[in-house]
Chain A
Amino acid sequence: MKQIVCIVCPNSCHLQIDEKTFQVTGQLCSRGAAYAKQELLDPKRTLTSSVKTIYKAHPVVSVRTTGEISKTIIPEVLAALRQIVIDKPLPRGSIIIDNVADSGIDIITTSTLDGE
């Protein structure tokens, strides 16, 4: 049995998972069971960060992954983000990197960059 605290929502359920059968107990919803199994096999996280722009009033724009990525590729994704400088106005949700680190997940902007 492994103890895992679910981080999907603020309920922070205390889960117990059997390492062989993947039987999960302690969750308030089905997301908890899926989380515990994933956490055991290949922990995944949503990554949020920011990338540089050329605009003085908005020197950075906030970004995130469209879904969860393996914790192991986080350094590679951050290195890719550091190479980017945005030089045009972008609506919220614009794709900055498509299929980042071949994860099937994109990086999108999470705020409007109006270019002022």
Chain B
Amino acid sequence: MTRYDIVIIGGGPAGIAAAIRSSASNKSVLLIEREARLGGILKQCIHDGFGLSRYKEKLSGPEYAEREIEKLKNTAVDIKTLTFVSKIVRATNGYQLTLITRQGIERLFAHKLILATGCRERTGKQVAIHGTNPSGVLTAGSAQYYMNILGQMPMKRTVILGSGDIGLIMARRITLEGGLVVGVYEIKREPSGLTRNLVQCLNDYNIPLFLSKTVTRVFGHDRLSGVEIMKVDETMTPIPGTEEYIECDSLILSVGLIPENEIAETLAVPLNPATKGPYVDQGMETLVDGIYSCGNALHVSDVADMVSETGELAATSAISIDAGARKLIKIGFNKNISYLVPSHLDCDKPLNKVICYFRSSACLTNQTLKITVDGLLVKSIKYKHVRPPEMERLLIDFSNIVSPKKILFSLEEST
């Protein structure tokens, strides 16, 4: 059976970055991708704004992906495309993988696994919309695939449910290509996309955004003919009597992304309910030794640059010498933080350059993040604004700390 030191599952930006970084060692590395081409979702993200921190340029998704793929092609990493991982079982000192390829079923051994399986869109089935089952109801990612890869625009008059970034980007794309976007409806009181997308996708083209409103019913037999919109109360429950009918031939859903962790679940990797990705330490190692998680499978990131970064962090720790038993401490945080990655600190891994990502639990102004270890202040950072859709990234030096017991991240109003 073929043996690899490191097998990376998923050939999007996280997996590619992990593969490039892994190849900088003398380890044998395999990258597995189920599609014909590497690059993941970036292939269809033709809008710009990628690579601002990684390349100091404003690139489109395909450009970012191709640059990463070109770097990968200069390494000794083995790549298998059109390959699907159907099963992984624990074996002595590693894992046995069953793959389905064009040639048939193949088995191989991996000493370590890096899971870079990305995320999926929440679909109409996962939000409460009643009515018929006509064509014309699709996710923002599907609409993006139709337009940017197939060159088809299957909509003329569109309602967008949810103010996620891809929904906002598709609102602009449809408008520029001659379609009409009647409005973007968001069930929450705050928009869920990045502020810059609200400005350059909606405001620029006078596309209205309606907050605290949702689609409750779809109409139409073969094709969507319209939707019912209702106002919602503070608990996001539709208010009777607020129904309005809007004629449209398409409903685009941009209602959230969920990390894809089916493989992690079969390997009993503990998942964090706040991120829906695995709990990890600062080296992106999950609570199962030798299994690493990165990219949108770990937590849904705002930008591809951070996805690539977590891939590199995972690979950096996967190629380092196994230190034996890990000394894990869970990192605590207060109620103003909705989640923190990493969730744990491994005191046996490097502590000098720990990269942390967090999201606030609400839109807050004039906040200070205080990081304390056993009551001692390690770092304090001020934020004028924090918004849940905008992820914050920090670099922290924990190397002066000897056998810490309690690490706390506390986001409080500045004094």
Contact = CB atoms under 8 A, between A and B. Distances in A.
Contacts of A9: 49, 52, 196
B58 interface: yes
Contacts of B200: 7, 45
B244 interface: no
B243 interface: no
B199 interface: yes
Given A49-B176, A50-B46, A74-B176, A5 B62 contact: no
A50 B147 contact: yes
A62 B62 contact: yes
B375 interface: no
Interface residues of A, number: 28
A5 to B, nearest CB: 5
Interface string B223-237: 000000000000000
B46 A62 contact: yes
Contacts of A74: 176
| Most A CB within 10 A of own CB, among B151, B198, B204 | B151
B122 interface: no
Contacts of B368: none
A12 B196 contact: yes
A64 B381 CA distance: 37
Contacts of B52: 9-10
B194 interface: yes
B72 to A, nearest CB: 15
Interface string B202-219: 001000000000000000
Contact of B62 (A10, A26, A110): A110
B204 A12 contact: no
B385 A111 contact: no
B66 A46 contact: no
A5 B148 contact: no
A52 interface: yes
Contacts of A64: 46, 48, 60
B176 A12 contact: no
Contacts of A52: 151
A48 B48 contact: yes
Contacts of B58: 46
Nearest to B195: A12
A2 B315 CA distance: 46
B390 A10 contact: yes
Contacts of B125: none
Given A5-B196, A7-B199, A10-B302, A110 B176 contact: no
A5 B149 contact: no
A112 interface: yes
Contact of B204 (A6, A45, A49): A45
B102 interface: no
Contact of A60 (B49, B60, B148, B199): B148
Nearest to A67: B58
Interface in B359-415: 384-385, 390
Nearest to A78: B176
Contacts of A78: 176-177
A110 B184 CA distance: 28
Contact of A10 (B46, B48, B149, B194): B194
A90 to B, nearest CB: 13
A104 interface: no
Contacts of A60: 148-151
B309 interface: no
Interface string B130-165: 000000000000000001111100000000000000
Nearest to A39: B199
A111 B66 CA distance: 7
A92 interface: yes
Nearest to A43: B204
B346 interface: no
A59 B204 CA distance: 29
B216 to A, nearest CB: 31
B210 to A, nearest CB: 19
A50 B60 contact: no
A7 B149 contact: no
Nearest to B62: A111
B196 A50 contact: no
Interface string A56-97: 000110101000000100100010000000000000100000
B194 A48 contact: no
5 contacts: A10-B52, A60-B151, A62-B60, A78-B177, A111-B62
Given A46-B48, A110-B62, A111-B66, 8 more contacts: A6-B196, A9-B196, A10-B303, A43-B204, A45-B200, A49-B176, A59-B151, A110-B46
Interface of B: 43, 46-49, 52, 58-60, 62-63, 66, 147-151, 176-177, 194-196, 198-200, 204, 302-303, 384-385, 390
